[in-house]
Chain A
Amino acid sequence: MTRLQIIFTRLALFALVMGAWEALPRAGAVNPLLLPPLSGVVRMLGQLLGRAQVQEAIGVTAAEVIVAFIIAVPLGAAIGILAAENDYFGAIFRPMLFYVFSIPKSIFLPMFILVFGIGFGQKVAYAAFSTLFIVIMSAAAAVESVKADHVLVARSYGASPLQVLTRVYVPSMMPFLLEALRISMIFNFTGVMIAEMYASRTGIGHLIASWGENFQMPQLLAGVILLAAVAILFNETVRWLEGRCSTWRT
């Protein structure tokens, strides 16, 4: 299949799913109370975006996501680089990190609530905590992607440490760093969402959870579409950047 055909087939599949979402509830094949037709959900999304309450919630969630990201990434990157550059430290902590990955971090939410309350600080602290581990792992992987041969060659030709950093480390690590940022942001976003859905007074996650509890399906589905669209858009933008940077890698 050519590239154009693939894109066309994907669009057709997308249209098919969206068409079914519209047609099935209308035809009565699916209970419209459980799955309202797509057009109604999109109209509801337009209305919601005009409401002051929803706009405020979006602002709060965005601020939480950004602050948590700014805390988690430098901290995790520092630990990850330490783990990759220092063999002994790495040998101690690497297996622990892989294990921590399989623990449901949401079980620590009660402690975050006790310490920070259920406001802005608790969302930021929990999201940063749940993002930290993936940042550490990605940063360590990025450092390890730098080929020792390249560093050796640069040093033999008399490159200064600064030159080695800017000419060898940064270009080799660039695609990994972007991927690390992308994946960390997804974890971060998930962390904020869970914290907001669990106990909160504002934020999009809180709105979604309460729409679900009150069985307001059009509002709930509109919120899910909005969040999914934002997440996919961010992900695709960074992936596009990654594709452009990977030409630097040998």
Chain B
Amino acid sequence: MQRPSPATVRRLILVLVLALWEVVPLTGVLPELFLPALSKTLTVLVQNWAEYAHALAVTLYEVALSMAIACGGGILVGALVGGLALLRNLLLPVFSSLYAVPIVILYPIFTAWFGIGSESKIAFAGIYGFFPVMLSTAAGIGTIDQNLLLAARSMGASVPQQIARVVIPASIPTVLSGLRLGGALAIIGVVVAEMLTSSDGIGYLVTRYRTVLDSPRVFAAILMILVLSVVFDLIARWAERRTLAWQTAGRRERGAQIRARSLAAAPATA
């Protein structure tokens, strides 16, 4: 018998999980407090749509701003650190040492400084996503094939031309994989921060309904966060595929290595 393709098995697993989510609570094996049925969760989500939509808007606003900080700042600093040998030797090892620190312990400092509104979430998630973007941009620019630059220089390219025609196209794949990671981390950072100390947003709904033991509402919020990260992941993957054409075969292999490295260089998620 031929084995079903891995993609089919994955879809089956997803369907199975959703089916179990619906069936197990109905059989009464697990009390509703532990796991409300999928249909009940969806009903609650639809009935309280105004509340959840408002929370989603707040969360999306915070995510958008922190992504802008993480990606903008990360690319800028990463380009500087990767492009200048002096900064690279001096600072890169320091950043990889700092990465061992669980960033979440800084969050109480942010709430003390910026209050419990959106500002503290944006600052926290911005820093959370900043490091992987910065490190992978630095790696992308620092590891460009020197022969490409040599060839461009020999043919008389000016420095702006070298940057526009060699450095930027060659570093795009690495930067993009950093952006994907940085964006995912910005979402995680916002949700974690909202769950810890907050007065609004989806993470806040999780915590608020948990403390009053209203499980269907907790799971409705969890479901929204899951959908949010799936949608972001799909968009990021689509963008990566779009730029695949710019990579040569040799680079693609190196891109995978760099992606693995920037993954390892990401701050711990939770």
Q: List residues of A whose CB falls within 8 A of some B CB.
A: 1, 6, 9-10, 13, 34, 88, 91-92, 95-96, 99, 101-111, 113-115, 130, 134, 137, 141, 179, 183, 186-187, 189-191, 193-194, 197-198, 205, 208-209, 211-213, 215, 217, 220-221, 223-224, 227-228, 231-232, 234-236
Residue from A102, A130, A141, A198 in contact with B184 in the complex, judged by beta carbons closer than 8 Å: A102
Asked whether B191 lies within 8 Å of A101 as measured between CB atoms, the reply is no
Chain B residue with Cβ nearest A209 = B108
Query: Across the interface, which residues of B come within 8 angstroms of A189, CB to CB?
Result: 102, 268
Chain B residue with Cβ nearest A227 = B105
One of B19-27, B164-172, B192-200, B239-247 at the interface: B192-200
Asked whether A215 lies within 8 Å of B226 as measured between CB atoms, the reply is no
Asked whether B34 lies within 8 Å of A111 as measured between CB atoms, the reply is yes
Asked whether A102 lies within 8 Å of B195 as measured between CB atoms, the reply is no
- B20 CB → nearest A CB, Å: 15
Query: Across the interface, which residues of A come within 8 angstroms of B191, CB to CB?
Result: 104, 106-107
Query: Across the interface, which residues of B come within 8 angstroms of A234, CB to CB?
Result: 100
Asked whether A224 lies within 8 Å of B105 as measured between CB atoms, the reply is yes
Query: Across the interface, which residues of A come within 8 angstroms of B108, CB to CB?
Result: 197, 208-209, 211-213, 220
Query: Across the interface, which residues of B come within 8 angstroms of A220, CB to CB?
Result: 108-109, 112
From B86, B98, B104, B222, residue with most partner A Cβ within 10 Å: B104
Q: List residues of B whose CB falls within 8 A of some A CB.
A: 3, 6, 9-10, 13, 33-35, 86, 89-90, 94, 97-109, 111-113, 184, 187-188, 191-192, 195-197, 203, 206-207, 210, 215, 218, 221-222, 225-226, 229-230, 232-233, 260, 263-264, 267-270
From A1, A190, A224, A234, residue with most partner B Cβ within 10 Å: A190
CA distance A98 to B98 in the complex (A): 24
Asked whether B10 lies within 8 Å of A227 as measured between CB atoms, the reply is no
- B4 CB → nearest A CB, Å: 10
CA distance A187 to B101 in the complex (A): 10
CA distance A9 to B269 in the complex (A): 32
Asked whether B94 lies within 8 Å of A34 as measured between CB atoms, the reply is no
Query: Across the interface, which residues of B come within 8 angstroms of A141, CB to CB?
Result: 260
Query: Across the interface, which residues of A come within 8 angstroms of B106, CB to CB?
Result: 224
Query: Across the interface, which residues of B come within 8 angstroms of A102, CB to CB?
Result: 184, 187-188, 229, 232-233
Kindly list the 5 A-B residue pairs having the minimum CB-CB distance in the complex, ordered from nearest: A212-B108, A235-B100, A102-B184, A190-B268, A91-B6
- B262 CB → nearest A CB, Å: 12
- B266 CB → nearest A CB, Å: 9
- Not counting A107-B226, A187-B269, a sample of 11 additional A-B residue pairs whose C-beta atoms are within 8 angstroms of each other reads A1-B89, A104-B229, A110-B210, A190-B104, A194-B192, A197-B108, A213-B111, A220-B108, A220-B112, A224-B105, A232-B101
Chain B residue with Cβ nearest A108 = B222
Asked whether B100 lies within 8 Å of A232 as measured between CB atoms, the reply is yes
Query: Across the interface, which residues of A come within 8 angstroms of B233, CB to CB?
Result: 99, 102
Chain B residue with Cβ nearest A193 = B102
CA distance A232 to B207 in the complex (A): 31
Asked whether B90 lies within 8 Å of A9 as measured between CB atoms, the reply is yes
Query: Across the interface, which residues of A come within 8 angstroms of B112, CB to CB?
Result: 34, 212, 215, 217, 220
Asked whether A6 lies within 8 Å of B89 as measured between CB atoms, the reply is yes
Q: List 18 A-B contacts (CB under 8 A).
A: A10-B90, A10-B94, A101-B269, A102-B229, A106-B195, A107-B191, A107-B225, A110-B218, A134-B268, A186-B100, A186-B268, A191-B270, A193-B104, A194-B196, A221-B109, A224-B109, A227-B101, A232-B97
